[in-house]
Amino acid sequence: MAEAFVPLFVGFARALRSAGVATGPGDVLTFCRAAAVLDPADLSDVYWGGRVTLLGRHEDIPRYDEVFRRYFLGDGPPPDDLTLTAEAAADAVLALPETEGDGPEREAEAVLGLTASGVEAVRDKAFGACTPEELAAIRRMIARLRLTPPRRRTRRTRPARNGPIPDLRSTVRGTLRRYGEIDELRRRRRRVKPRPLVLVLDVSGSMADYSRHLLQFAYSARRAAARVEVFCFGTRLTRITDELGERDADFALAKAARTVVDWEGGTRIGDSLAEFVRRWGRRGLCRGAVVVICSDGLDRGDPEVLANALERLARLCHRLVWTNPHRLAGAVGMVVAAPHVDLVVPGHDLRSLEELAALLPRLG
């Protein structure tokens, strides 16, 4: 029965566009799907379903009401049984099946402002327990994370009105222009620049439920700042910083997955970190950097190799953070890493990744 109403709803969207309401093809598709989930024969459901999915601005509501009355009621008064709430219509939209891709549907979902309950439901749910639709929604939310890299004060200074450092050179120059009369004491302040951020991600088989989301988090961090380096490891270390520099997220993640040849294989954390320190850390990549290792600590290599690598890495970097999605305190890697890391944080759900993003600026 829902298919028979599609031409009617498409005509309603055209009438809204003719009246000056900005309505795109993705909005119309979402409206049709929402009306099918509700009751397309009930005008109250149609009214609130269209109001939730077709409107992006509060100022368009009076124009929407006028077009709705003219299109569906022939300019008659609205019925008295429009009792469906906007929250119920939004819940119906959240119940729609997710679609993949970057089409207009994703743009329409960004317009909806009444989706807080659905977001909170998946924010505290472990990645391994989520349905495919929830995982797709989580990936979109991770892609919209706004990460602020850690910052540090440099030795260089800049002019400042209330800086703590006297600028004697500028003060003397100003005095000479005024024939020896000192007008004010110029001051300077130390410049602030982002610290390097290095993400080392475990993509072994034991991390299969989390690797995709951690890689999406690394892509968001790479897009937020220039001084971000990303490495993956299973049985060997692979640098994927350049692959994550692509503008399209799906293309960048697919390119990175093709580059990592040991995806969902074995785990050798110690050998991978030792190679990282030997090839990249000693070259200055970790100097003053915040290094975040994302792994469950399940290592099949020699614990002594891991301990030596972590000891050298802790001396090279500014802060060493370990993110453990499995929260396994008794894993070999976690026991060996405990004396060397500055902080251990979870990474099993969306909220823990948001907390990690909020923590990064404070590590500077």
Tell me if 122 is assigned to some domain. no
Tell me if 293 is assigned to some domain. yes
| Mean pLDDT for the stretch of residues 169-182 | 83
For the chain, the average pLDDT equals 78
Distance CA 202, CA 187 (A): 48
Domain boundary among 193, 220, 254: 193
Q: Do residues 180 and 230 share a domain?
A: no
Nearest to 163 by CA among 192, 190, 194: 190
- Please indicate whether residue 100 or residue 324 has the higher confidence score (pLDDT): 324
Q: What is the pLDDT of residue 95?
A: 43
Give the distance, in angstroms, between the CA of residue 133 and the centroid of all CA atoms in the same chain: 17
Q: For the chain, first and last CA: distance in Å?
A: 59
Q: For residue 141, give both structure tokens.
A: 């939310």
Q: Do residues 82 and 172 share a domain?
A: no
Q: Do residues 109 and 162 share a domain?
A: no
Q: Do residues 89 and 167 share a domain?
A: no
Each residue of 54-80: pLDDT tens digit?
887 777 888 888 888 888 776 544 444
Q: Do residues 215 and 348 share a domain?
A: yes
Q: Do residues 165 and 277 share a domain?
A: no
Q: Domain range spanning residue 189?
A: 155-193
CATH number, domain with residue 337: 3.40.50.410
What is the dihedral sign for C-alpha 182, 184, 185, 189? negative
Tell me if 21 is assigned to some domain. yes
Lowest mean pLDDT, pick from 17-26, 195-204, 318-327, 351-360: 17-26
| The total number of structural domains that make up the chain | 3
Whether the predicted pLDDT of 83 surpasses 60: no
Domain boundary among 193, 209, 241: 193
Q: Do residues 315 and 221 share a domain?
A: yes
Nearest to 233 by CA among 174, 316, 294: 294
Each residue of 201-249: pLDDT tens digit?
999 888 888 888 888 888 888 888 778 999 999 989 999 999 988 888 8
Each residue of 114-172: pLDDT tens digit?
333 445 556 666 776 777 777 777 777 787 777 787 888 888 988 888 888 888 888 88
Q: What is the pLDDT of residue 317?
A: 92
Tell me if 174 is assigned to some domain. yes
User: At 338, is the secondary structure helix, strand, or coil?
Assistant: coil
Q: Sorting pLDDT into bands at 50, 70 and 90, what band is 93?
A: very low
Q: For residue 94, give both structure tokens.
A: 């959240």
Tell me if 130 is assigned to some domain. no
Tell me if 323 is assigned to some domain. yes
Each residue of 272-329: pLDDT tens digit?
999 999 999 888 888 889 999 999 888 888 899 999 999 999 999 999 999 988 765 5
Tell me if 149 is assigned to some domain. no
Lowest mean pLDDT, pick from 22-31, 90-99, 201-210: 90-99
Q: Do residues 65 and 181 share a domain?
A: no
Q: What is the pLDDT of residue 350?
A: 83
Tell me if 312 is assigned to some domain. yes
Distance CA 336, CA 305 (A): 10
Q: Do residues 238 and 269 share a domain?
A: yes
Q: Do residues 48 and 18 share a domain?
A: yes
Q: What is the pLDDT of residue 121?
A: 59
Q: Do residues 160 and 214 share a domain?
A: no
Q: Do residues 319 and 334 share a domain?
A: yes
Distance CA 275, CA 79 (A): 72
CB neighbour list of residue 76: distance below 8 Å, 6 or more residues apart: 69
Domain boundary among 114, 147, 172: 114
Nearest to 309 by CA among 323, 298, 293, 325: 293
313 CB neighbour count, 10 Å cutoff? 22
Q: What is the pLDDT of residue 221?
A: 87
Helix residue ranges per DSSP H, the chain? 6-18, 25-37, 43-54, 61-72, 86-94, 104-111, 116-123, 132-143, 168-177, 211-224, 249-259, 269-279, 303-316, 332-337, 350-359
